[in-house]
Amino acid sequence: MRILSGIQPTGSIHIGAYLGAIKQWTDLQGMGECIFFIADLHALTIPQNPGNFQKQVLQTAAELLAAGLNPEKCIIFAQSQVKEHTELAWYLNTITPLGELERMTQFKDKAKQFKQNINAGLLNYPVLQAADILLYQTESVPVGKDQVQHLELTKTIARKFNQKYGETFKVPEALTLDLGAKIMSLSDPEKKMSKSMPETCLFLFDEPEVIKKKIMSAVTDLGKTIKYDPVKKPGVANLLTIFSLFDGKPIKEIENNFKGKGYAELKKQLVNLLVLKLEPFRRKKKELLSREVYLKEILEQGRKRAAIIAQSTMDAVRQKMGLL
C-alpha cells in the first residue's frame, strides 16, 4: 500500500497538525510504502520571504524528524525538488472545472485572509495537491479533517483523467482519525487550531512555561463537570481530546479520573502531561537544527527515490495525452 502526505513549511508544527496528521504518519511508517514531503510550492501561494525560505524548509524537515519520521522507513523530500509535481499539475489544470476550485473552503478562507494577494496559485492550490497525490499512485492520504474536501476533488480529477485518457491513476482515499481529526483553537473552541492564529496554537516545541500559560488560559465552558460533550462543552471536549491522545487512554477513563474535580485540575494535569510528552520533541529538534548537512542529505536521498516513481508515472501520462 502506498501512503503519502505533505505539510507546508509555513511555521512551526502545532499539536493540532501533529495529532490530526503527523502522528498518523509516524504510526503508518513500516505499514506500507510511505512518502512524506514538504509542500514548499504550496507555501508560495501566500507571501514568503525568499531570504528565509530555505531555512524554513530545513526547519520543517527537522521538526518532522523530531516528531518521529524515520528516513529509513519513509521517503522525505521537498516538493519543489521533484519537477514532475508542477508538470502534472499543469496537465490536471486542463481537466479541472473552474467552478470546483471556486467552491473550495480553503480558497474562500484564504481569499478573505489575503485580500491584497488573491493570486491564481491560491485558486489552483488543490490541483497541485492532486498532482502530488496522483503522481505516486497513492492509495491512502493521512490528513486532518480540513483537507478532506481537497481529497474529494483529487478523486474527481483522477476519475476524470482515467475516463478521458484511459486508466492511468489510482483513486486515493483520505485517512482521517475518529478522534483528533480536528483539534480546536485554545482560545476559540469553535474554530480549528491553526498556524494562521499562532497565539491560540500550542506548538509541539513550546517550552514548559509557554505550555503552562497557553493551557491555563484556554477557554473552557460554563458549568463544572468534566464531561466530553463537543456540542455543549467544546472547550472541555477539546482539552479531553488532547489529554486522551497524548496519554493513550480512552476519554471515558479520563472523565472517570476527574470525577468530582474542576476545570483547573484538568488543566493542571494536562500541563504536566504535555510538559512530559513534548520534552523529547524539543530536545530532538534542537539537536537536528545544528545538523544542516545531515538534513540536506536526507532530503536529497528522498528526492532521488521520489523522482524514480514520479518519472515512471509521467512517462505514462505523457503517452496517454499524446505528447511527444
Catalogue the active-site residues.
110, 192, 195
Binding mask 11-50 for ligand ADP (x = CB under 6 A): -----xx--xx-----------------------------
Query: What minimum distance in Å lies between the beta carbon of 14 and ligand ADP?
Result: 6
Beta bridge partners of 229: 233
Query: What minimum distance in Å lies between the beta carbon of 6 and ligand ADP?
Result: 8
- Distance between CA atoms of residues 256 and 154, nearest Å: 42
Among 34, 92, 127, 193, binds ligand ADP (CB under 6 A): 193
Which of 48-56, 108-116, 128-136, 206-214 is the region at the interface with ligand TRP (rule: CB under 6 A)?
128-136
Query: What minimum distance in Å lies between the beta carbon of 133 and ligand TRP?
Result: 5
What are the residues whose beta carbons fall under 8 Å from the beta carbon of 296, sequence distance 6 or more?
Answer: 58
Q: Is 257 strand, coil or helix?
A: helix
Q: Would you tell me how many other CB atoms lie within 10 Å of the CB of residue 54?
A: 13
Does position 195 bind ligand ADP by CB under 6 A? Answer: yes
CB 299 within 8 A of CB 77: yes
Nearer to ligand ADP, 46 or 273 (CB): 46
Does position 63 bind ligand TRP by CB under 6 A? Answer: no
Nearer to ligand ADP, 110 or 212 (CB): 110
Q: Is 192 strand, coil or helix?
A: strand
Does position 194 bind ligand ADP by CB under 6 A? Answer: yes
Q: 129 is in the binding site of which of ligand TRP, ligand ADP, none (Cβ under 5 to 8 A by kind)?
A: ligand TRP
What are the residues whose beta carbons fall under 8 Å from the beta carbon of 282, sequence distance 6 or more?
Answer: 66, 205, 207
Identity (one letter) of the amino acid at 132?
D
Does position 60 bind ligand TRP by CB under 6 A? Answer: no
Q: Name the CA dihedral angle for 74, 124, 171, 83, rounded to a multiple of 10 degrees.
A: -40
Residues 22-41 within binding reach of ligand TRP (CB under 6 A): 39
CB 136 within 8 A of CB 84: no
Q: In which residue are the cell numbers 508538470 written?
A: 87
In the complex, the residues that contact ligand ADP under the rule CB under 6 A are 7-8, 16-17, 20-21, 143-144, 146-147, 181-183, 192-195
